Structure 1
Amino acid sequence: MKQSLLQIYDARVAAGTLHADAAQRAVLPLMERIRTELEAPVKKPGLFGLFAKPPETVRGLYLWGGVGRGKSMLMDLFCGAVEVPKRRVHFHAFMQEVQAQIEAARRAKTEDALLPVAKAIAAEVRLLCFDEMQITDIADAMIVGRLFDELFKRGVTVVTTSNRVPEDLYKNGLNRQLFLPFIGIIRAELEVQEIVSENDYRQHRLSGAQVYFTPLGRPATEAMTALWEELSGHDDSAVLRLEVKGREVVIPHFHNGVGRATFWDLCAAALGPADYLAIAGAVRVLMIDDIPHLSSSNFNEAKRFVTLIDTLYEAKVRLICSAAEEPERLYIEGEGSFEFERTASRLREMQSADWARD
């Protein structure tokens, strides 16, 4: 007999892979309802396949709450247990794909470029599971309402996590009045549920843990990899691609809001404040490998690194890194070394167990 989501959850608690949390358990009956309705037999079409209609859309779930409350874990548990055609994807990555497909349809002179994209998605899945729904890009904001309306019409169910209540999506965004109907669609098609937990499990995993490893070498690399595997659940990571003003910014490893890249990935390329803002908006934890000694010989990379750290600091992104020296000795000579003192101070502060708590 198939286990319920509560039984799966409790088994993991008993095995020691999860900690029991009343707020998390309260969400599981809502997910079980969606699972049951999705897996119910679909009515067959009429005689000779005439009058065939898409399956009735099952009302989905919009699960929101603070960082580290277990939203992504619950969604993964749910998605793994549901036996229907499905896809689990980070929301930002999904919208990047949609934008690329719409652009391809426009180049092909398709009259309504969005419609074939929605039809293709609905032909492949009945369930879309999104991690971290957030809208920061005006291009996404202008199409997301109609896209989801077309998906819901075609029987696609959506389960998504977010750090924001729906009314705060695309807050203060350009032409936000054109986006507001999407909030109504969310409220109509998804059950909106806040997960209220006193526990921040992502912080607990890092609380008291070393998050700055020096000097560079095998021990630092192994320590970084061990933390990455713990934070990513030993899951295969995806590449996060962010489009910023026509450029592509790439985080080579990404899973559930945790990104990992090298210093050279982030600071050797010609990236600027807008790129780093996009990264800070897409991740909750960023791991940076192989920060070298900084000096006049790599001045441009050092300047970008200062901008990156300032951006992560202001956005309260949790930082884990490996570096050639302690922060105060990373940049001790050459132009810019004096100004680096503030960056060193921030790097030191960001090592605190209390850093980035809500």
Structure 2
Amino acid sequence: MQERLVDRSPVVPAEQLVAQLVPPAMFDEVSFASYIPDPDEPSQAAAVRAAEAFAGKVGKIRGGKRGLFGRKAPSTGAGLYLDGGFGVGKTHLLASIFHSAPSPKAFGTFVELTHVVGALGFNKAVEELSTHSVLCIDEFELDDPGDTMLVSRLLTELSARGVSIVATSNTLPGQLGEGRFAAQDFLREIKKLSSIFETLRVDGPDYRHRDLPPAPEPIAAEELIERAEQVPGSTLDDFDELCAHLSTLHPSRYGKLIEGVTAVFLNGVHPAEDQSVALRLVVLADRLYDASIPVTVAGAKLDEIFTPEMLAGGYRKKYLRATSRLLALSRFEVAAS
């Protein structure tokens, strides 16, 4: 019988949440040397140099300076913020910093970090992360004031304890010429950290779509079912049933939900009219992308899931990122048996 995601109800123990804060598998082997800057975008080469220099600071800060009588003098963590559009390699640089830093260290998206704080409680999260050399935060978000201030407070506490912080965020395409809008908002939100953050701009087109065709056309439902049956370890779900199932799971469990899955097939895909459904799909898209799991659909095209009204709203950045990632996954080769 064909496996379905809706039949899975994974559980992730709270104590495993910090241990799981590592880069996605696709970034296991990346390094500063393997980042290939676009020769037409000088900011990319500059970002590589700055990220590598920042990584060198991390170990020195965590080692601490010896003061009188050999006591370790208190030190404040360094800060780096990589600001830029979609698909310019910011996560590559972030993971390279992570790999270069001494253990313990942590890497996660902004959303994953809020899930960890929610599961552990603020004080426990500070305790668990305060021994780390660096906290790498991918996709820092400004669309939820509550979560933003929670994480800002967390970063303030950790930085004061010598944890270096490096974060990335996406500037909206329509705001690229408006003076680093995302960077300014980010630094304003974390007032106590702004003096130690170096803000770096990384420009360029989305590498996931360079010289690539637009979103692939959906296939017929009968062909979708046939393909799914030919791929060992794949799942086949009805889009609406999957959306309903996601509402029963905390987003921190979405990664576990797709663990071991080789390919995802979705039938009856259509635009998500409800904002809460759309935001859950964003998280699922992120976890699928992290795990490099191909996605094939019947129904609407993957770039039609988020409606024009949603793309014009406050969560535009999330939806554009998710669309970019889903389109990349739709172009992966699916291995049939």
Q: TM tier, shorter chain?
A: 0.5 to 0.7
1:80 partnered with 2:107: no
Aligned counterpart, 1:67: 86
Secondary structure at 1:85 match in 2: coil
C-alpha separation in 1, matches of 2:114 and 2:185: 19
Aligned counterpart, 1:22: 42
C-alpha separation in 1, matches of 2:73 and 2:124: 17
Aligned counterpart, 1:167: 184
1:38 partnered with 2:38: no
The one-letter code of the counterpart of 1:273 is D
Q: Does the 8 A contact of 2:135 with 2:163 survive in 1?
A: yes
Structure 1: gaps (5+ residues): 1-7, 103-113, 170-179, 226-242, 295-304, 323-349, 352-358
Aligned counterpart, 2:160: 153
Classify 1:82/1:212 alpha carbon distance in 2 versus 1 (closer, same or farther; 3 Å): farther
Q: Does the 8 A contact of 1:34 with 1:58 survive in 2?
A: no
C-alpha separation in 1, matches of 2:230 and 2:76: 47
Q: Which of 1 and 2 has higher RCO (CA within 8 Å, sep 6+)?
A: 2
Aligned counterpart, 1:89: 108
Aligned counterpart, 1:248: 250
C-alpha distance after superposition, 1:7-49 (max 9, x if no partner) = x645665xxxx765532211122122222222234335765x8
Aligned counterpart, 1:201: 207
C-alpha separation in 1, matches of 2:188 and 2:35: 40
Q: CA deviation at 1:94?
A: 1.0
Q: CA deviation at 1:200?
A: 1.9
C-alpha distance after superposition, 1:214-251 (max 9, x if no partner) = 5215657999x9xxxxxxxxxxxxxxxxx98x962464
Classify 1:264/1:27 alpha carbon distance in 2 versus 1 (closer, same or farther; 3 Å): same
Aligned counterpart, 1:172: none
Aligned residue runs from structure 1 range 1-358, under 5 A: 9-10=32-33, 13=36, 22-40=42-60, 41-44=63-66, 52-54=72-74, 56-102=75-121, 114-123=122-131, 125-164=132-171, 165-168=182-185, 182-197=189-204, 199-204=205-210, 206-207=212-213, 210=216, 212-214=218-220, 215-216=223-224, 248-249=250-251, 251-252=254-255, 263=266, 273-279=274-280, 282=283, 289=295, 291=297, 308-310=305-307, 314=311, 315-316=319-320, 317-318=323-324, 319-320=326-327
The one-letter code of the counterpart of 1:34 is F
* Length-normalised TM-score, structure 1: 0.55
Q: In angstroms, what is the RMSD of aligned CA positions?
A: 4.6
C-alpha distance after superposition, 1:239-295 (max 9, x if no partner) = xxxx98x9624644899xxxx86538999xxx972323324655579788465679x
C-alpha distance after superposition, 1:189-230 (max 9, x if no partner) = 311111122x3202227446746455215657999x9xxxxx
Structure 2: gaps (5+ residues): 1-30, 172-181, 234-245, 312-318, 332-337
Aligned residues: percent identity? Answer: 21
C-alpha separation in 2, matches of 1:156 and 1:265: 46
Larger Cα-atom Rg = 1
The one-letter code of the counterpart of 2:44 is Q
Secondary structure at 1:191 match in 2: strand
* Length-normalised TM-score, structure 2: 0.57
C-alpha separation in 2, matches of 1:213 and 1:185: 52
Secondary structure at 1:263 match in 2: strand
Q: CA deviation at 1:146?
A: 2.0
C-alpha separation in 1, matches of 2:279 and 2:208: 21
Q: Does the 8 A contact of 1:63 with 1:162 survive in 2?
A: yes
Secondary structure at 1:38 match in 2: helix
Q: CA deviation at 1:153?
A: 0.7
C-alpha separation in 2, matches of 1:72 and 1:155: 23
